[in-house]
C-alpha cells in the first residue's frame, strides 16, 4: 500500500528566519501521523533539522564530488541531514536542460547516498492540447525512473508544467486519468508498482487539497508556494490525513 506524503518544495526561497515556520508544520505532521517533507534551499538543510519533519534537497549532481562548481552531490545532501531529494523538476529540465537520462542518473546517485528520490514528470500545455499527455508522461516515467527502482527508494510526482506556479490547477478528471495511468505503468514494470507513492503538484493549496486527495491514486502532494508558511501548509497536511 502506498505511503502518504506531504512534500514542500521551497525552491529559491527562504532564509534562516523562515525556519521558524517548521515547528508548527512538524507538530501538524505528528498530530496527523502524516509524513511531511520540506525541501529548502541547500544552504538551509542542516539548519532545518526539526523533530517530526523530513528534510530534503531540490536537486543533486550524479557524482559524489569533483570539479562541478556550484553543484551539490547527493552524498553532501545526506551529510547535511536530508532524507529525500527532488530530481527532474520541470524548472530544472527547462532552466538547466536536464534530460530524462540525467534524471535517471541522479535518482541512482540519490539511492547510493541513502536518499529517497522524488522523480518529477509532467507535460507542457502544448503537449496536453495536442493529445499527447499520456504518451509524454509514459516516456518520461520509463526513461527517468531507473529499472531497479522500488517503492522504498522512489516517489513519483506528477506536475503538469502548465500548472506550476501559475495558479492553474488540472481538472480532477485530468489528475485522475494521469495518476491511474501512472499506477498501471508502475504495476506493469515493477513487482511493487502498487506500493509506489504518487504525488500531485501544481498550485496545490488548502482550498483544493481535499478534492485532489480524493483521487484514488493520489497519495500526497508536492507543494510549492503554499509550503512556505505553516498557516498554508498545515491545512494541506490535515486534508491528506482526512482521506
Cell triple for 33: 501521523
Q: What is the DSSP string of 68-79?
A: -TT--BHHHHHH
Kindly report the number of other CB atoms within 10 A of residue 117's CB atom.
30
User: Strand (E) positions, 128-189?
Assistant: 154-158
Among residues 18, 14, 9, 15, the alpha carbon closest in space to that of 38 is found at 9
Q: Tell me if 33 is assigned to a ligand binding site.
A: no
Q: Tell me if 11 is assigned to a ligand binding site.
A: yes
SS3 40: coil
Annotation marks residue 89 as catalytic:
yes
| Backbone dihedral angles phi then psi of residue 136, each to the nearest 5 degrees | -60, -45
Annotation marks residue 13 as catalytic:
no
| Contact in structure between 238 and 28 (CB atoms under 8 Å) | yes
Cell triple for 216: 484514488
Q: Tell me if 9 is assigned to a ligand binding site.
A: yes
| Catalytic residue (one of 91, 98, 104, 159) | 159
Instruction: Give 121's strand partners.
Output: 158
| Catalytic residue (one of 54, 89, 104, 238) | 89
- Work out whether strand 84-87 and strand 54-57 pair parallel, antiparallel, or are unpaired: parallel
Using alpha carbons only, give the angle 224, 229, 235 rounded to the nearest 5 degrees: 85
Q: Tell me if 167 is assigned to a ligand binding site.
A: no
Q: What is the DSSP string of 32-53?
A: HT--EEEE--GGGTTTT--TT-
Q: Tell me if 165 is assigned to a ligand binding site.
A: yes
Task: Quote the CA–CA distance of 226 and 235 in Å, as a whole number.
Answer: 10
Q: Tell me if 4 is assigned to a ligand binding site.
A: no
Q: Tell me if 10 is assigned to a ligand binding site.
A: yes
Residues annotated within the binding site for substrate are 9-11, 165, 203, 224-225
Sequence ranges of the binding site: 9-11, 165, 203, 224-225
The catalytic residue positions are: 89, 159
Amino acid at each position: 500500500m502506498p505511503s502518504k506524503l506531504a512534500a514542500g518544495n521551497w525552491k529559491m526561497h527562504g532564509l534562516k528566519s523562515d525556519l521558524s515556520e517548521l515547528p508548527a508544520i512538524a507538530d501538524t505532521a505528528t498530530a496527523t501521523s502524516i509524513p511531511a517533507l520540506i525541501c529548502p534551499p541547500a544552504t538551509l538543510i542542516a539548519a532545518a533539522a526539526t523533530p517530526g519533519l523530513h528534510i530534503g534537497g531540490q536537486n543533486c549532481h550524479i557524482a559524489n564530488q569533483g570539479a562541478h562548481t556550484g553543484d551539490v552531490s547527493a552524498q553532501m545532501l545526506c551529510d547535511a541531514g536530508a532524507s529525500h531529494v527532488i530530481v527532474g523538476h520541470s524548472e530544472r529540465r527547462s532552466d538547466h536542460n536536464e534530460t530524462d537520462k540525467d534524471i535517471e542518473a541522479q535518482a541512482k546517485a540519490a539511492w547510493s547516498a541513502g536518499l529517497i528520490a522524488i522523480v518529477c514528470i509532467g507535460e507542457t500545455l502544448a503537449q496536453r492540447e495536442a493529445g499527447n499527455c499520456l504518451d509524454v508522461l509514459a516516456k518520461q516515467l520509463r526513461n527517468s525512473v531507473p529499472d531497479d527502482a522500488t517503492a522504498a527508494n522512489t516517489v513519483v510526482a506528477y506536475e503538469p508544467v502548465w500548472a506550476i506556479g501559475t495558479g492553474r490547477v488540472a481538472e480532477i478528471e485530468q489528475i485522475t486519468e494521469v495518476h491511474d495511468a501512472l499506477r498501471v505503468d508502475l504495476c506493469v514494470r515493477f513487482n511493487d508498482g502498487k506500493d509506489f507513492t504518487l504525488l500531485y503538484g501544481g498550485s496545490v493549496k488548502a482550498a483544493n487539497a481535499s478534492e485532489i486527495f480524493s483521487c484514488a491514486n493520489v497519495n500526497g502532494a508536492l507543494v510549492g508556494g503554499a509550503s512556505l508558511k505553516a498557516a498554508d501548509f498545515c491545512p494541506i497536511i490535515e486534508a491528506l490525513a482526512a482521506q
